[in-house]
Amino acid sequence: MEQKFDRLIFRTQPHWDESFMGYLLRLMELNSYPTATWILQFAKIRTIGQGKLPFVFSGNLDLSHLSKLTLASEATLSALLYHPAPEKKQTHGGNHMLFAKAVPQYLIRVNRPKVCSGCLRDSGYLRKIWEFSLLTACPIHVVC
C-alpha cells in the first residue's frame, strides 16, 4: 500500500452531522476498497492497533492529505471530529464536544455506534449522534 494517490477516483462531501468513521466507510464503499484502513493510509492518518480510533478525539489531527484526496475542506473534515472542550465547559465532566455540548469521552462510542436502519435507509450515512451512548432510541424514527 505504498502507492501515492493525490485524489480518490470517487469523492463525496461529508454531511454536517455525519460521523468521521461513517464518512470513511462511505468513501471506502464508493471506491470499492476492502477496508477503511486504505483511506486512512492514503490520508496518512495513523491508527494504533486493530479497531483503535483515538485520532477522532484529536484536536490537532492533520487532515490536509484527506482533504486533497476528497476535495473536502479541512474545516469541513475537522467538524466531523470530537474536539476537546474548552476549559470552562469541562467543569461538569465533559471533555469533548458533541454538537456544541461538552460530554465525557467515555460516552462517545466510536468503535461500536448504534445504527438506526430507518436513518441509514433514508439518508445513506451514519450520523454522529449514534456514537453517543446515552441515545437509546432514534428521535426521527422512534426506534430502539
Size (the chain), residues: 144
Positions in the chain short of pLDDT 50: 1
d(CA 20, CA 77) in angstroms, rounded, equals 8
Closest CA to 133 of 108, 97, 103, 98: 108
pLDDT at residue 1, as a whole number: 46
The answer to whether 144 and 137 are in contact (CB under 8 A) is: yes
Q: Say what the pLDDT of residue 111 is.
A: 82
The per-residue pLDDT for 48 is 58
Instruction: Point out which residues pair with 98 in neighbouring strands.
Output: 101
pTM (2 d.p.): 0.83
Determine the Cα–Cα distance for residues 49 and 40; give it in Å rounded to an integer.
13
CA distance 135 to 109: 11
Spans of all domains in the chain: 20-131
